[in-house]
Amino acid sequence: MLYVPGDKPRALEKVRSLPVDGIIIDLEDAVAPEAKENARQCIAEALSADYGARELILRVSAVDCAPDFVLAERLPIHGVLIPKVDSPAMVRAASARTRHPIWCMIETPLGVLRAGDIAAASDRLAGFVAGTNDLTKELRARHVPDRTPLLTSLSLMLLAARAHGLAALDGVHLGLDDLAGFEASCRQGVELGFDGKTLVHPSTIDIANRVFGPSAEEVAKAREIVAAWDQARAEGKGVARIGGAMVEQLHVNEALRVIAMAEAIEAPPRNGQGDRAR
């Protein structure tokens, strides 16, 4: 999911041709206070165009920024991202301001510690986005390649998200010229359990798609698991065997998830317009 500044019309147009799953149209950090009204006009004009199958999320300036929410209610978007969420009350306040699904930036120590309560605050909640830059600053930690200072916080976010059926997106990687480091960060995100990566530059899209998307080998294995399970069930068996390994329902559920992801990636563009988002 790629961040795009709301006051950059050319960037808002260009992203329509990029192979991303979603776009976070940013009215918070990426837009100076004096430029926000112009950004709102740019966003309204840009979103009159077709963005294909891409998910459109508006990151508002703050949970109490009324003009941003007024704009959100006029837009054909799929969600509103609230920055610096650190309490269930903030989720409820956002719910009162918008009809859209709500995403929460978890980027403060209090937000991490209250992640479970935040996740349970509303049935309109769609997911968490890790705000790793702000969190690193708040922790007085250091930006190190293996992100050791953040692992506890990232795991707590994921536990809360999974316990309440929410999506979870990993934070951004600042080193735009460090593509090897970016790929390592993506692989760590996959290993931790994140659903995807938030990006700040188009040059990183292909790596994120490759790392977070299932490989051909993983898809083939998933199909093999489902086929073996179907055969076992047809024979009245409760388990199946593949290469000496036992296959149970939990393995089948994960295989079906992988297959569904692969099919979504390969699906044609919505309305036949634009490149297919992942």
Segment 84-132, tens digit of pLDDT = 999 999 999 999 999 999 999 999 999 999 999 999 999 999 999 999 9
Strand ranges in the chain using DSSP code E only, listed in sequence order:
2-5, 22-26, 55-59, 79-82, 102-106, 125-130, 167-170, 196-197, 240-242, 245-247
Q: Is the model's pLDDT at 216 over the cut of 80? A: yes
Instruction: Check whether 278 has a pLDDT greater than 60.
Output: no
* pLDDT higher than threshold 60 for residue 273: no
How far is Cα 239 from Cα 246, in angstroms, rounded to an integer? Answer: 7
Min mean pLDDT across 53-67, 81-95, 118-132, 234-248 is at 234-248
- Reported as a pLDDT band with limits 50, 70 and 90, residue 268 is low
* 42 Cα distance to chain centroid: 24
For 169-179, what is the mean pLDDT?
93
Q: Which two tokens stand for residue 168?
A: 């979870």
Of the candidates 76, 1, 50, the one whose C-alpha atom is nearest the C-alpha of residue 271 is: 50
CA dist., res. 69 & res. 273, Å (int): 29
CB 226 within 8 A of CB 252: yes
Confidence (pLDDT) at 271: 41
Give the chain's mean pLDDT.
93
**What does the pLDDT average to over 216-242?**
89
> Using CA atoms, how far apart are residues 263 and 17, in angstroms rounded to an integer?
20
Helix ranges restricted to H, 81-239: 88-97, 109-113, 115-119, 132-139, 151-163, 179-192, 205-212, 216-234
pLDDT band of residue 245 (cuts 50, 70, 90) is confident
**Which one, of 199, 260, 257, 216, lies nearest residue 19 by Cα?**
199
Q: Which amino acid is at 43?
A: I
Q: Record the tokens describing residue 200, joined without a space.
A: 């700040």
C-alpha angle with apex 9: 6 to 12, nearest 5 degrees?
70
pLDDT, tens digit, 9 for 90 and up, residues 128-148: 999 999 999 999 999 999 999
pTM of the model: 0.90
CA distance 170 to 1: 10
Q: At what angle do helices 132-139 and 151-163 cross, to 10 degrees?
A: 130
What is the distance in angstroms between the CA of the first residue and the CA of the last residue of the chain?
10
The pLDDT confidence band at residue 237, using thresholds 50, 70 and 90, is: confident
For residues 162-189, average pLDDT: 96
CA 237, CA 23: separation in Å to the nearest integer?
A: 45
Distance of alpha carbon 81 from alpha carbon 242, whole angstroms: 43
Model confidence pLDDT, tens digit, residues 15-45: 999 999 999 999 999 999 999 999 999 999 9
169 touches 128 (CB < 8 A) = yes
For the cut 80, the answer to whether the pLDDT of residue 190 exceeds it is yes
pLDDT at position 277: 39
